[in-house]
Amino acid sequence: MKKVLLFITIALLVVLTFGSAFAVELTMYSSDESKARVLRQVVELYQEEHPDVKIEVVAFPYANYMQKMSLVFLGGEPPDLLETTATYLPQMTQFLRNVGPDIEENLGLSPQEYKDSTYDVVKVYLGEEDIVHAVPLHFTTYSVWINKEMFEKAGIAYPPKGGRTEPWTWEEFKDVLKKVKSENATPYAMSIEYSADKFFSYLALWNIKILDEEGNFVMDQYENAEKAINEFVDLFKEELVPPAEWLSGESHTSNFFGGITAVDWAGSWMARESFNAEKQNDVAPCYVPVIEDWFGISGGGFLAAPQTGDVEKEKAATDFVMWIADKDKGYTEYIKRSRDLSAYKDHSIDYGEPLLDEWAEVHQVLAERAPAWSTEVRATAVWSRLTDTIRKDLALGISESITAQEMIQHWKEEAQRILSEL
C-alpha cells in the first residue's frame, strides 16, 4: 500500500514538474476588460496552435492604467506582454523591447517595410528608424455619427452613404445641426465627449497645431487660432452641443443613443458600441466637415513586449507578437472580433457583417487623408500632460470664465513648464 502511494506521489510530481516545464506561462496586461475579452479569444486560438504556451490576459481599469503601469515599471516587474492605447504608449517606450530584427526574420520584411505597410498615422507610434517596439492591434479614426431617422425626418443628405458625396463645409455643417435640431425638436444637435482629443480632432480640421512634433507650443502662431476656439465654444453657447457634456461630464453616448442629440462627434469605435446597444440600424458614420482640410485623426491599440530579463519567456512573448503582427495569422482574427479597423494599408477584413464592411470604407477614407503630424503631435510627452489643462480651460470658456486668448496664453505657459521639467 505504502509503495503504491509513493509511486503515485512520484508520478504526480513528475507530471507536475514536466507539465509546467513544457508550458511557458506568460502574462499579458490589458487596459480594460472589453479589450481583454477579445484578446482572450485570440489567445485561445494561439494556444491551440501552440500548446506549449499559456497566456493569461489580465485587465486593469482604463482610467488607472498608466498609474498601474508606471508602478509596475518602477517596481521592475513588468508583464511579458502588454496591450496599450495610443494615449499611453509614448510614455512607456523606454521599457519595451525592440522586435525589429524578429519582424525581419519572421515576416521577411525589413522594419521599415513593415512600418510602411501601416497607415502613416499608425507608423508614428511603432518606433523610430529601425526600431519596432510595438505592433498595432486595433485602429480607430474620428468621424461624425448621425441618427439616421432624425436626418431623414429633417430631409438632410449626409456623406458619403446618405445621398451626398462631398463633406459639408463648416458653415453647411452648422446649418445642418440647426436644422436637424429644429425639425426633430431635440434639445440639442450634437454630442462631443469631454476630452482634449475630441477638441484636437476639431482643431486639426483648421490645420492648427497646438504643439509641433517636438512638443513646442506653436498655437499662438496661427492667425485664426482664437477664432477656432471661439467657434468651438459657440457650439455650446448656441445650445447645439449640450454644455452638460463638458461641464459635468454627461455621457455623450447616452445623449446620442437616447435621442437627445442627432449627431455624435466620435469615431470608428462607435461601431462596436452601437452593436452592443443594439442601435446598429439607427446610426451611420459620416465624413467630418471640411474647414481647411478634412480627415479623421487616429488612435488605437498596440501590443508590446517589455524587457523582463527572462530569456525563455521573452522568446515566447516575441513569438506571440509576431503572430499578431502577421496579417495572415493572428491579426485578422483579432480585428474581426474587435470590430475595429485594420491598421495595415490595403488590408480589407471580412467582418461577416455587411454594416461593418460599409462603415469601414467610410473610416478608411478619413484615416488615409490624415497627415502624420496629427498623430506625431499627440505622441509627444508634452501633449499627454497638457490634455487635462486644455479640456478644463475649454469648460471654463463654455461657462464664459475665460477667453480664447487667455486659454492660448495659459496653454503656452503650461507647455513650456512641462517641456522644462522633462
Partner 1 sequence: MKKVIIIVLAVLFMIPVFWTITSSLKSMNEIYKYPPSIFPEKVSLEGYINVIEQSDFPRYLANTLFVAIISTIITVFLCVSLGYGLAKGIFKYKGFLTEVVIVTLFVTAQVIMVPLFVIIRQLGLMDSLWGLIIPAVFTPTGAFTAIQYMKGIPNEFLESAKVDGAGEWQIFSRIVLPLSKPLIASLSIFSFTWRWNDFVLPLIVINSGKKFTIQLALATLQGQYGIPWNEILAFSVMAIIPTLVIFLLFQNLFMKGISAGGLKY
Partner 2 sequence: MIKRGIVESRFVFVIPGFVFHFLFYLLPIILMIILGFFSWDILSPMKFVGLKNFSDLMKDKWFWNSVVVSFKYTFLAVPIIFVISLLLGVLLQEEDTFSKVMRVFFYWPYMIPMVAAGTMWKWLFSRNFGLVNHILTRMGFQPVSWLDDPTLALFTVVMVQVWVLAGFMMMLFIVGLQAISEEFYEAASIDGATNFQKFWYITLPLLRNTNISVITLSIANCFRNFTIVYIMTTGGPGYATTVAPLYVYQKAFTDFRIGYASAGSLVVLLITFVIAFAVRRVQEGGEMEGVV
Enumerate binding residues for partner 2 (CB under 8 A): 64, 66-67, 70-71, 73-74, 91-92, 94-95, 187-188, 194, 242-244, 246-250, 254-255, 258, 260, 385, 387-389, 392, 395-396, 398-399, 401, 421-422
Give the chain's count of helices (H) and strands (E). 20, 8
Nearer to partner 2, 268 or 308 (CB): 308
Tell the smallest beta-carbon distance from residue 315 to partner 1 (Å). 21
Nearer to partner 1, 132 or 335 (CB): 335
Give the cell for residue 29.
496586461
CA-closest candidate to residue 129, choices 142, 107, 110: 110
Q: Which H/E stretch holds residue 323?
A: helix 311-325
Rounded distance, CA 172 to CA 157, Å? Answer: 12
Rounded distance, CA 246 to CA 265, Å? Answer: 13
Looking at residue 310, its amino acid is: D
CA-closest candidate to residue 213, choices 380, 56, 410: 380
Q: Strand 283-286 and strand 298-304: pairing?
A: unpaired
Q: Is 350 exposed, middle or buried (0-12, 13-18, 19+ CB in 10 A)?
A: exposed
Nearer to partner 2, 265 or 331 (CB): 265
Rounded distance, CA 289 to CA 354, Å? Answer: 25
Q: Is 153 in the site for partner 1 (CB under 8 A)?
A: no
C-alpha separations of 221 from 93, 151, 210, 381, 412 in Å:
31, 38, 9, 21, 11
Nearer to partner 2, 338 or 384 (CB): 384
Which parts of 224-263 interact with partner 1 (CB under 8 A)?
253-254, 257-260
Query: At 284, is the secondary structure helix, strand, or coil?
Result: strand
Contact flags string 272-311 toward partner 1, x per CB under 8 A: xx--xxxx--------------------------------
C-alpha separations of 149 from 231, 240, 261 in Å:
27, 18, 12
Nearer to partner 2, 70 or 348 (CB): 70
Tell the smallest beta-carbon distance from residue 82 to partner 2 (Å). 14
Tell the smallest beta-carbon distance from residue 357 to partner 2 (Å). 32
Confirm if 144 and 162 have CB atoms less than 8 A apart: no
Nearer to partner 1, 66 or 321 (CB): 66
**Contacted by 62, from partner 2, partner 1, none: CB < 5 to 8 Å by type:** partner 1
Nearer to partner 2, 127 or 397 (CB): 397
**Contacted by 247, from partner 1, partner 2, none: CB < 5 to 8 Å by type:** partner 2
Contact flags string 43-62 toward partner 1, x per CB under 8 A: -------------xxxxxxx
Confirm if 146 and 161 have CB atoms less than 8 A apart: no
Residue 41 neighbours by CB under 8 Å, 6+ apart: 337
Contact flags string 1-30 toward partner 1, x per CB under 8 A: --------------------------x---
Nearer to partner 1, 96 or 291 (CB): 96
Q: Total residues at the site for partner 1 (CB under 8 A)?
A: 40
Q: According to CB under 8 A, which one of 23, 34, 162, 392 is a site residue for partner 1?
A: 34
Give the cell for residue 295.
480627415
What residues make contact with partner 1 under the rule CB under 8 A? Answer: 27, 31-37, 56-64, 67-68, 71-72, 74-75, 77, 79, 85, 253-254, 257-260, 269-270, 272-273, 276-279
